[in-house]
Structure 1
Amino acid sequence: MKKFTLIFLPLIIFCLLSEVKAQVAEISSPDGKLKLNIFSEEGKALYSVSFQGKSMLEKSPLGLITNESDFSKNLKFINSKKDFVSKKYSNEKIKKSEVEYKANTLTVNFTNADQFNMEIEFQVSDNNIAFRYDIPAMKDRFSCVVLSEVTSFKFPSQTTTFLSPMMKPMTGFARTAPSYESGYKADAELGTKAEYGYVFPGLFHIGNDGWILLSETGVSSLYCASHLETTSDKNLYKVAYPNMVENNGFGSSGASLSLPGKTPWRTITVAENLKPIVETTIPFDVVEPLYEPSQKYQFGKSTWSWILWQDNSMNYDDQSLFIDLASKLGYEFILIDALWDKNIGKERMKELIQYAKSKNVDVMLWYNSNGTANDAPMGPRNKMSSSIERKKEMKWLKEAGVKGLKVDFFGGDKQETMRLYEDILSDANDFGLMIIFHGTTLPRGWEVMYPNFAGSEAVLASEMLYFSEDVRKQEAFFATLHPFIRNTVGSMEFGGTFLNKYLTKSNTEKNRRLTTDGFQLATAVLFQNPIQMFAVMPNNLTDAPKFQLDFMKEVPTLWDETVFIDGYPGKYSVIARRHQNKWYVAGVNAEKTAKKLTLNLPMLVGKNVELINDYKSGITFTKQISISKKGIYEIEIQPNGGFVLKN
């Protein structure tokens, strides 16, 4: 027995030392709850994440592959260094206007078989991790192409997913996909395959241990956007670059990078409950403005005819009616959608803009993004893709008095498309124009990076409620997901809040709305975007109850604070938002039975507030109520219904 111990004791000690040596660095959040470990094992860089001592991400690969050198294998850990970052910033376009960000930082340095270095920079704040790769010059090489990443996320086996599949490239309307307009599956099995992967952001439920939200931020013209894909290991999700078929097969699938160069940030929000998921500001914390605003941009509410009156409404007389509607509602804008160039023309458009000015309404105009990467026929076309044409057009727009553009039909995440987004935004800023993107990718920190960026669609939005009965049936389901997933990482121009009972111009016969008026009003608060194109119609001035119109006149689109109150994605959602000193609490219910909730509302303690809610019959009502000194209020939300409390 003693002989056995003498022979194997050194081996046991060696194994223990090797295991310790495998972990090369660690860092925790300022509050100590979130912990990140870095490992160097068998020539690979890996990381793991725990929260309050519970494993949230198991050992997951790090690294990337370039055309000059491979940083995914044969890696050797060199060193690490720690630091701290703290900043305060203001941004009126996001969920919280004043932000204080504090994070511990860790930079780890690896060298590969070619003796080239790769640094990985981590910032760990309370509930959030952001990391990116930094590639120095490779001897006499000052540029490279990043072909792919091995960056992955390995989840515990009890995890379920809330993901939206990437659309098949060059499909859909006029071959404009992918445009981030697929639905979600709630609590799906880990490892469920999607042929083209899943878009960012992605939400993961780690059973009783908590939640993780994955996304990316800081994508500019210097890189491509990425998404998630499944692997042969069902627990492991990997960062993937754009499909070569996108944009009619033209352009790259990786990223051309000047050295030294940095990748975009990958973000991981980790929490035991959904509150930090809804309230996170990490997409904005780690990015900086890329240029100064040429002026002070004004945001607000807008009317638009196209959502229900469609293409035929793009004429002088109908747009005059929607200018009048905006004026009566006190809205700042009208959006004049596709085909205005053909049906109204530039000369009459100048007249229409002057008419709008006389009504204290500013004009936004629709544009096709290019016309070269898809078959979208609507005009104006070929005005945004060429630098010369774009600047000529924007000069005219500024002289005519246009305040912003809605640019549509992008359909891809390639670096070439990221350049187009940035070129449009940068040129538009020179001419004092705001930009909203539709048929588009997820905005990745753009509210901070581009001062004149005013929101993106990138969601199964209101237009599909008009076109699809199936989407109408799932409207409440999707609405309960957006505050936790899509809308928590970026502005979301949904274009909703219908007061018509039927989603048609006549408000009769077909496309019956399946949600209550209370639900529709709640989404005006639940969905956040600095400019909201609301679907209020001229007929609503006479056929909608006065309290509903009053609400639609008053509801802000800019918020100083956002607070999670209650909810579960796919079932129900209750969110509070503050504008100056006024609080709005909004909730919707996607379940088949009424939802009784006891809400904790410290922001409304002892206050008299207006309640908008639905009776069991589906009729929406309003009344004044008082919130107790304990801040507790019991409410019942009807199926496909919603409520608002406002002080």
Structure 2
Amino acid sequence: MFKKIVFSASFLLFLTTCIAQSSAVLSPDKRLKVEVAVVEGKPVYSVFYNDKQMLQPSPLGLITNEGDFSTNMKWVSQKEDVVSKKYHQDKIKKSEIDYQANVLTCTFENAKGHQISVRFQVSNNDIAFRYELPTWGERRSCVVEKEATGFKFPSYATSFLSSMMSPMTGFARTAPSYESGYEADAPLGKKTRNNQGYVFPALFKIGNDGWVLVSETGVRSLYCASHLSDPTEDTVYTVAFPDMRQNNGFGSTGAAVGLPGVTPWRTITVGANLKPIVETTIPFDVVDPLYEPSRKYEYGRSTWSWIVWQDNSMNYVDQVKYIDLAAALGYEYILIDALWDTNLGKEKMKELINYARSKNVGVFLWYNSNGAFNDAPQGPRNRMNTSIERKQEMQWLREVGVKGLKVDFFGGDKQETMRLYEDILSDANDYGLMIIFHGCTLPRGWERMFPNYVGSEAVIASEMLIFSQGVREAEAFFATLHPFIRNTVGSMEYGGVLLNKYLVRENKNRNKRLTTDGFQLATAVLFQNPVQNFGLTPNNLTDVPSFEIDFMKEVPTTWDETLYLDGYPGKYVVIARRHKNKWYIAGVNAEEQTKTLTLQLPLTPNGKYTIINDDRDGNTFIKPLTVGKNGQVKIEIQPKGGFVIR
């Protein structure tokens, strides 16, 4: 299972100087290998898959206020172990997970004689590693000022990256909020315009050898969230800490760590194809719940007036219409968005909640996270940012029967901001409330860590379809990226399935939707989030074909299994998801030509199924589908179109 390193030719070429010691760890199936060494006093690691180098020697180490642990390091020891873990998780892409990993812990010593360890857990297709800091003499605390951790890919690799937004820009100075676009198949070494680097997760194609997805997990109040730096001259992407200018320049850029302590996990998913990328559960495998749920949280679908009807819909009459829409669809929830505090007030809101309860519809309410760190004016404000006010508000929310909150406008990755996320989640659980975050950072294992967490935006979401012609034009392109990148590492509260032909209340004249109905229905399956705030409007009950509404009445939001079937980021994607005993297969096409695919489906041969698809004029239809004995079907996906089989 473990062995001393048998060096590859490329690695031996690199090791031209004396090495104190080195070691390696293999995955259980022996296809994935991590090599660790100290070269000229610098700890490095390399990654191989099927004997092909996926990551060249890349730096390890931390720089703290108690010493530098990235240079002048000596190898001290190594320890080998195994991890075996089975768990159930009801709100990610898979419900039953069996995690098996081999462990290598390497301990190094710096010039001061202080030690630090790096723990690698290597499972089939996945690597997770973190730093473990002991006490140093009398020291029981330190500040991690910088990480040397890096990722050096072969020169022929290409990238699929989204840039980090500049601090204190965008709407009401609320950036960064992980809402930048992507560039697909870009060459290595390309720097961002603002020198801010790239957000996690980051996808790389290693020529014909395979794919690598890089991210992090296990971030909470005990550390800051990180991202990738712009590449160095020799194309090394390093782990970068938050920009000091975030949150109006207040707060630390590093991480205060109590000793002994650990950092979050850096994760690397590797595959010869995209299947391991789409199906990985590594963000959840290496973390555990931080507290018990105070009640059984129930997930589901929601209506939401603001996405199409916007601010003017924040009145009693329009919210009743959306409660009635939720009831007609059999949806579990309605999301009542910003400005309810001034447009309705708490007494009127209590009446509205009671009306929703009479229709068997639960209520989510919107809140501003501020505070003092940006200028977003929408209310309720100053109710989520401090403990006393937050608990008073949540007490009222529980009393009137609210089921959950959508908390907006965070704009930073500093440790102080991570503490605010955690405090909101922890307090909300005390009052039996679910939490959705918006205008926010990437979730990092939070689905498992926080039982009442039910999703984050952290993506160019449906609201930008309302505001931007460019985003409407790129909708299909982005949709074919998310299952491989953003949504594969965490729940994505996108707010999709818009069936209005024009994305305005009047459903005419402006903001024309550029994707088909088949495309929109497919995203209900492609985009995973345990509570889905769909963009349907009351008029859709009568102005779209009934089979589309029937599909939206039945589509689930939780999944027991997820399978990659076909696709290429930025071009097209087909995914299968299973809810209990029923499979849903969905695909969309971002290319300019019709895509013809032969798909191997996880369906019973000769079974009776239906397919919703588009014809060449963009009209969406439904028809029976028979799966042959070999389980294969031939599918056409129209440009900016999509299909669903169930």
* TM-score of the superposed pair, with normalisation by structure 2: 0.97
Tell me, what secondary structure is at the counterpart of 1:325? helix
Q: Where in structure 2 are the equivalents of 1:274-285 lying within 5 Å?
A: 274-285=274-285
Gaps of 5+ in 2: 1-12
Mapped contact 2:18–2:40 kept (Cα < 8 A): no
5 Å matches for 1:343-358? 343-358=343-358
Per mean C-alpha deviation after superposition, the further-off stretch among 42-51 and 234-243 is 234-243
Q: Is the 2:20–2:75 contact (alpha carbons within 8 Å) kept by the matching residues of 1?
A: no
Which of the residues 31, 34, 43 maps onto 1:33?
A: 31
1:128 to 2:131 alignment: no
Distance 1:157 1:17, change over 3 A: closer
Partner of 1:48: 46
Q: Secondary structure at the match of 2:216?
A: strand
Q: How does 1:219-618 map to 2 (within 5 A)?
A: 219-618=219-618
SS at match of 2:520: helix
Task: Write out per-residue CA displacement over residues 168-197 of structure 1, whole angstroms, 9 at most, x where no aligned residue.
Answer: 100000000000000100000101101210
After TM superposition, give the deviation of residue 234 of structure 1 in Å: 4.4
CA distance in 2, matches of 1:607, 1:180: 42
Amino acid in the other structure paired with 1:102: Q
Match of 1:149 among 142, 147, 150: 147
Identity within the alignment, %: 68
Q: Which moved more, 1:450-459 or 1:600-609?
A: 600-609
Shift of 1:232: 2.7
CA contact (8 A) 2:158 2:187 kept: yes
- Using the TM superposition, name which of 21-30 and 528-537 deviates more: 21-30
Q: 1:624 to 1:17 in 2, by over 3 A?
A: closer
Instruction: Tell me which amino acid in the other structure corresponds to 2:324.
Output: D
Q: What's the CA shift string for 1:270-289, capped at 9, x where partnerless? A: 11000000000000000010
User: Distance between the aligned counterparts of 2:298 and 2:388, measured in 1?
Assistant: 27
Structure 2 counterpart of 1:512, one-letter code: K
Q: Distance in 1 between matches of 2:55 and 2:230?
A: 15
Partner of 2:6: none
The one-letter amino acid of 1:70's match is D
Deviations 1:595-625 (A, max 9, x none): 0000011334332111000000000000011
Map Cα deviations across residues 464-485 of structure 1 (whole Å, 9 max, x no partner): 0000000000000000000000
Give the distance between the partners of 1:279 and 1:16, measured in 2 at CA: 34
Distance 2:126 2:232 in 1: 28
Q: Which residue of 2 aligns with 1:218?
A: 218
Quick one: distance in 1 between partners of 2:366 and 2:126? 37
Following superposition, the deviation at residue 201 of structure 1 comes to 0.1
**For each residue in 1:287-308, what CA deviation from the matched residue of structure 2 results, as whole angstroms up to 9, or x when unmatched?**
0100110010000000000001
Residue 8 of structure 2 aligns with which residue? Answer: none
**Equivalents in 2 of 1:608, 1:458: separation in Å?**
38
- Report the secondary structure of 1:323's partner residue: helix
Contact 1:216 1:264 in 2 (8 A): yes
Equivalent residue number for residue 113 of structure 2: 115
- Structure 1 letter corresponding to 2:137: K
Output the CA distance in 1 between the equivalents of 2:15 and 2:272: 33
Q: What SS does the corresponding residue of 2:454 show, helix, strand or coil?
A: strand
The answer to whether the Cα contact below 8 Å between 1:294 and 1:432 also exists between their aligned partners in 2 is: yes
Map of 2:159 onto structure 1: 161
Q: Is the 8 A contact 2:587 2:644 kept in 1?
A: yes
8 Å CA contact retained: 2:56, 2:154: yes
Taking the aligned partners of 2:363 and 2:79, their CA distance within structure 1 comes to: 52
1:206 equivalenced with 2:225 (yes/no) = no
**2:19–2:40 Cα contact (<8 Å) kept:** no
Q: How many Å apart are 1:233 and its aligned residue?
A: 2.6
The whole-number CA distance in structure 2 between the counterparts of 1:87 and 1:258 is: 27
Shift of 1:68: 1.1
Does the aligned pair in 2 maintain the 1:190–1:234 contact within 8 Å?
A: no
User: Which residue is equivalent to 1:78?
Assistant: 76
Residue 391 of structure 1: SS of its match in structure 2?
A: helix
1:157 maps to amino acid:
S
Encode CA deviations 1:219-264: one digit per residue, 9 max, x unaligned. Answer: 0000000000123334211100000000000000000000001000
Task: Return the alpha-carbon distance in structure 2 between the equivalents of residues 240 and 604 of structure 1.
Answer: 48
Distance (Å, rounded) in 2 between the aligned partners of 1:138 and 1:66: 12
Deviations 1:340-381 (A, max 9, x none): 000000011111000000000000000000131100000000
Residue in 2 that maps onto 1:98 = 96
Look up the match of 1:88: 86
Give the number of aligned pairs: 632
Secondary structure in structure 2 of the residue aligned to 1:599: strand
Distance (Å, rounded) in 1 between the aligned partners of 2:27 and 2:75: 23
Matched residue SS, 2:477: helix
Change (3 A) 1:16 1:381: closer
Q: Tell me, in whole angstroms, the C-alpha distance in 2 between the residues paired with 1:293 and 1:16.
A: 51
CA 1:439–1:17 in structure 2 vs 1: closer, same or farther (change >3 Å)? closer
Separation in 2, partners of 1:586, 1:363? 29
Contact 1:371 1:377 in 2 (8 A): no
Retained in 2: the 8 A contact 1:156–1:235? no
CA deviation after TM superposition for structure 1 residue 25, in Å = 1.0
2 CA distance for matches of 1:159 and 1:432?
A: 47
Tell me if the contact between 1:200 and 1:227 (Cα under 8 Å) persists in the aligned partners: yes
Verify the 8 A CA contact 2:598 2:632 in the aligned structure 1: yes
For 2:58, give the aligned amino acid: S
Contact between 2:20 and 2:74, CA under 8 Å: does it hold in 1?
A: no
Cα displacement (A) at 1:316: 0.7
In the alignment, which residue of structure 1 is the partner of 2:169? 171
The aligned residue for residue 7 of structure 2 is none
Q: Distance in 2 between matches of 1:227 and 1:20?
A: 33
**In structure 2, how many angstroms separate the alpha carbons of the residues matched to 1:144 and 1:353?**
48
Please state whether the residue corresponding to 1:303 is helix, strand or coil: strand
Structure 2 CA distance, aligned partners of 1:225 and 1:210? 28
TM-score (norm 1): 0.97
Partner AA of 2:557 in structure 1: T
